[in-house]
Amino acid sequence: MKFFADTADLDDIKDLAATGLLDGVTTNPSLVAKSGRDFKEVVREICGVVSGPVSAEVVALDHDGMMREAEVLRKIADNVTIKVPLTPDGLKTCKKLTADGTMVNVTLCFSANQALLAAKAGATFVSPFVGRHDDNGFDGMDLIDDIRLIYDNYAFETQILVASVRSPIHVLRAAKIGADVMTAPPAIIMGLFKHVLTDKGIEGFLADWKKTGQSI
């Protein structure tokens, strides 16, 4: 499963890239607002650090407006992935951009039927938001199960990008289902390293090593 960082914070992206774990980045208008940075500038800088797909979201709601914004964004770098909402205009834009060889991430997916539409429109990625599903009393991971089944039934190549990831359990379940990608805030990705027995083990080994009086 590929790991994308769900952030527009360049320092966090650089730290994660240094671990060798980072396969791409997703941003959205809220994350850009949180960074306080200029959108195009921050996307350009992220693309300079990460060679994998970097999602940049359009804000127009109509097809012509989305195409205009996509033109600007895809010129920033070859790995820019245009993010469009799961609406009729969004999918029309998706079809046109992917036909041109541009990667497209169809976002704000909340049902398996919507994911089916995104795949039929040729999306490179579909982003089902599991955390927001959970917030509303559903099990977001059931949605991932359904999408995996449907995509496998028809051998759709659209990659399932599990989004709105809020916990290590989301990551684990996404991997067990066979999602292609998950995108999570950097703190969640770094949290995957943590295990109390790993820390305890290091502590014990170091204490015993000290007794040997040796150095390497």
Binding site for ligand E4P (CB under 6 A): 6, 26, 28, 107, 127, 129, 131-132, 163-164, 183
Q: How far is the CB of 87 from ligand E4P (least distance, A)?
A: 16
* CB-neighbour burial class of residue 144 (10 A; exposed 0-12, middle 13-18, buried 19+): buried
CB 133 → ligand E4P: shortest distance, Å? 9
Closer Cβ to ligand E4P, 170 or 198, answer by number: 170
Q: Which of 126, 71, 144 is nearest to 102 (CA)?
A: 71
Residue nearer to ligand E4P on the CB measure, 9 or 213: 9
Q: Which of 83, 92, 95, 96 is catalytic?
A: 83
> Long-range contacts for 129-137 (Cβ within 8 Å, ≥24 apart)?
129/163, 129/164, 130/162, 130/163, 130/164, 130/165, 130/166, 130/170, 130/174, 131/164, 131/165, 131/166, 131/170, 132/164, 133/164, 134/166
Rounded distance between C-alpha atoms, residue 4 and residue 23, angstroms: 6
DSSP 112-147: HHHHHHHHHTT-SEEEEBHHHHHHTTS-HHHHHHHH
CA proximity to 5, closest of 206, 199, 207, 165:
165
* Minimal distance, residue 90 CB to ligand E4P, in Å: 14
- Nearest CB to ligand E4P, comparing residues 169 and 202: 169
Q: Which is nearer to ligand E4P, 74 or 170 (CB)?
A: 170
Tell me the closest approach of the beta carbon of residue 113 to ligand E4P, in angstroms. 20
Asked about 83 being catalytic, the answer comes back as yes
- For residues 166 and 184, give the distance between their C-alpha atoms in angstroms, rounded to a whole number: 7
Residue 104 beta carbon to ligand E4P: minimum distance, rounded to whole angstroms: 13
Question: Residue 153 half-sphere exposure, CB side, CA atoms within 13 Å?
Answer: 9
Q: List residues with catalytic annotation.
A: 83
